[in-house]
Amino acid sequence: MADLFNILKVTVGPKKLTARVLVNPGMPLMTSENVEATARVYYLAPAIAEHMCLGDAGSKFQDCMGHTELAHLLEHLTVEIMNETGLAGGISSGRTRGVMGDDRLFDIEISCPDDALAVGALSSASFMMNWAYLHADQTPPDFPGTVAALASLVGSLRGEAGVGATDAGVDAGAGAADARVGSADAGADGVAGVGAADAGADGVAGENAVACGDGGSYGMIDTEGASVVERGAVDGAVFGGAAAE
């Protein structure tokens, strides 16, 4: 069975990463097409419900999560993974835009204080959504373990000690390597396999890649999409459409 997404290309800029994402033919386009699968994503990362999300049904992602594009859900899950590592700066943010002429093609923009962090989070989020929508009969992803593994990877690439995941966390996060992520060169086409465990080595850290930013906080990219100001602020998180199932 095909994956849910095909990440065709990743472009790295000075302050944001842009991924051209295809929702593969035959896969659902909207979260409302499979409410149970959408609920599985929510239960992995309930904090996404509290993300500020302007320009849609309300001010929070919970207001539109039950009926929004899968690419939009992928954006919020990516932002939350970055946020949970504690390495994304003061504000993690993103935006999803449809590509004119193809209702299955989207550009996802993610604030990017670190190229390996952003690509690893995107890859991990894609893997988690594959499980939720296509492979729910298999062992659920370990969200905390994946976050810990990504934090450990990014910390090691930065040469920082003590940013780390346990061995168990590294093993759990390695499953995200099955996700498909494109070349990070600004003009490159084609698709290469990049996961949370090797994003820095094989993805955006190549000789032609450009590091995104210096680890600072850049605020909102745009007025729509995900924005998380505080880590762990999940009090009152509700996803009514799926959580009620």
94: which strand partners? 110
pTM of the complete model: 0.70
> How is residue 48 written in tokens?
């996404």
How far are the Cα atoms of 5, 8, 107, 115 from residue 185, in angstroms, in the given order?
20, 12, 16, 12
Q: Percent of the chain, pLDDT > 70?
A: 63
> Confidence class of residue 145 from pLDDT cuts 50, 70 and 90?
very high
Sorted by where each begins, the domain ranges of the chain are 5-243
* C-alpha closest to that of 199 among 128, 149, 142: 149
Q: Report the chain's mean pLDDT, rounded to a whole number.
A: 72
Residue 145 CA to residue 222 CA, distance in Å, equals 30
To the nearest 10°, report the CA torsion of 54, 60, 61, 63: -100
**Mean pLDDT in residue range 148-157:** 93
The helix (run of H) or strand (run of E) holding residue 105 is: strand 102-111
> Confidence class of residue 93 from pLDDT cuts 50, 70 and 90?
confident
**Mean pLDDT in residue range 188-214:** 31
> Would you tell me how many other CB atoms lie within 10 Å of the CB of residue 202?
18
| pLDDT value of position 56 | 61
* C-alpha closest to that of 88 among 241, 194, 214: 214
User: Which residues, 6+ apart, have CB-to-CB distance to 106 below 8 Å?
Assistant: 20, 21, 22, 23, 69, 71, 96, 97, 98, 99
Let me know how long the chain is.
245
